Chains A and B, each alone.
Chain A
Amino acid sequence: MKKIITAITCLSISACAGHLPSTDKDELASLHTAIQNARNAGAEKCAPAELAKAEAKQLYAAHEIEEHGGYNVSEADELIASGIASAKAAEKKCSKPKPVAKPKPKPAVKPMPKPVVKKVKPIEVIKLEGVYFENNSAALKASSEASLNHAVEVLKKRKDIQVEVAAYTDSRGKDSYNQHLSELRANSVKAYLISHGISGNRISSHGYGEANPVADNNTKEGRAKNRRVELRVQ
């Protein structure tokens, strides 16, 4: 008798030791899936209340199923449906589309800046008409004085300008010779101007040879025009 009483006592006490039911049941498959979807959507962070409700109901439903030794439609079904609703709510809450950031207004298309066309200041050329040289020489003819003196006056009036004495030849003769001769003639004119009171700092000289003809080198008149000296304002 004593043994029987002890056995009954042990059974009674062990009956009191509860355990959580397993949720691995076919009846809970749909709820399990819904919970999994919610979890995948990050519900543990963004919808913890809804997820917890769903999971708690899953446990409760599992308990109800176990308790009634089978599928208790009236209670377990209700819990499952409610759990699915909570899980779906959690999933929905987490998959709410983030507010679409307003597209930044496109920066106003600035009209292409007009290419800056540097206005090329036309070179001012002071022609020295009537400046003559001895043949094949850089020596100035006396008849050139009037024209050169005019240039001196201009340079004295316009003290702010600097000039380049540019000398040219016609096309007769060798290029190298013409080049050399033009340089000598340019220097002659520069020297004349300096000797008449124009600062050497304001004058440079350059011989261009037979380049840049302004007239036909096949005619006498044309060649005469091409043999020239200019003052190019810098």
Chain B
Amino acid sequence: MKKIWIICVCIAAFSSAANASIESRAEDVSKQVQGKHDYHAQMAKELSAIAEEEKGQHEVSTAGAFMEEAEKHAQMAGSK
């Protein structure tokens, strides 16, 4: 029983860490696409916003997936 508790605590901690990560990643994406208005920059912004919204609804895995995609677009932003 003790072990189960430990695991639950770990999962909760992991979940909390993931939440924080989404926020900071969103910030990074935002910085990365600042001043850029091309398709990839726009996609990064849109997907990052969705990720944050999902995170707000505690859909951490979904938020992570959207954020990952946002980051891919952010990397491509501004490149011709």
Instruction: List A residues at the B interface (Cβ < 8 Å).
Output: 5, 8-9, 12-13, 15-20, 44-45, 48-49, 51-53, 55-57, 59-60, 63, 67
How many of chain B's residues touch chain A, expressed as a range?
20 to 34
How distant is the Cα of A52 from the Cα of B10 in the complex, in angstroms? 37
Instruction: List B residues at the A interface (Cβ < 8 Å).
Output: 3-4, 7, 10-11, 14-15, 18, 37-39, 41-43, 45-47, 49-50, 59-66, 68-69
Q: Which A residues lie within 8 Å of B63 (CB)?
A: 18
How distant is the Cα of A67 from the Cα of B68 in the complex, in angstroms? 19
Contact A8:B43 (CB < 8 A) given known A19-B65, A20-B65, A59-B50 = no
The 20 sampled A-B contact pairs (Cβ below 8 Å) are: A5-B4, A5-B7, A8-B7, A9-B10, A12-B7, A16-B15, A16-B60, A17-B61, A18-B66, A19-B65, A20-B65, A20-B69, A48-B38, A48-B41, A49-B37, A49-B42, A52-B39, A52-B46, A56-B50, A63-B66
Min CB distance B80 to A, Å, is 11
How distant is the Cα of A232 from the Cα of B14 in the complex, in angstroms? 123
Q: Which A residues lie within 8 Å of B41 (CB)?
A: 48
Q: Which A residues lie within 8 Å of B43 (CB)?
A: 52, 55-56
The residue of chain A having its C-beta at the shortest distance from the C-beta of B77 within the complex is A48
Report whether A18 and B65 are in contact in the complex, using a CB–CB cutoff of 8 Å.
yes
How distant is the Cα of A53 from the Cα of B62 in the complex, in angstroms? 18
Contact A51:B39 (CB < 8 A) given known A5-B3, A16-B18, A20-B69 = yes
Chain B interface mostly helix, strand, loop or mixed?
helix
Q: Which A residues lie within 8 Å of B38 (CB)?
A: 48
How distant is the Cα of A17 from the Cα of B18 in the complex, in angstroms? 11
Report whether A13 and B14 are in contact in the complex, using a CB–CB cutoff of 8 Å.
yes
The residue of chain B having its C-beta at the shortest distance from the C-beta of A43 within the complex is B39
Min CB distance A137 to B, Å, is 103
Kindly list 11 other residue pairs between chains A and B, CB separation below 8 angstroms, not including A20-B66, A48-B37: A9-B10, A15-B61, A16-B15, A18-B62, A18-B64, A18-B66, A45-B39, A48-B38, A56-B43, A57-B46, A63-B62
Checking A9, A60, A67 against B7 with a beta-carbon cut-off of 8 angstroms, the contacting residue is A9
Report whether A16 and B65 are in contact in the complex, using a CB–CB cutoff of 8 Å.
no
Report whether A59 and B66 are in contact in the complex, using a CB–CB cutoff of 8 Å.
yes
Checking B4, B37, B46, B61 against A16 with a beta-carbon cut-off of 8 angstroms, the contacting residue is B61
Q: Which A residues lie within 8 Å of B62 (CB)?
A: 18, 63, 67
The residue of chain B having its C-beta at the shortest distance from the C-beta of A56 within the complex is B46
A-B CB proximity, top 6 nearest:
A18-B65, A52-B42, A18-B61, A56-B46, A48-B39, A52-B43
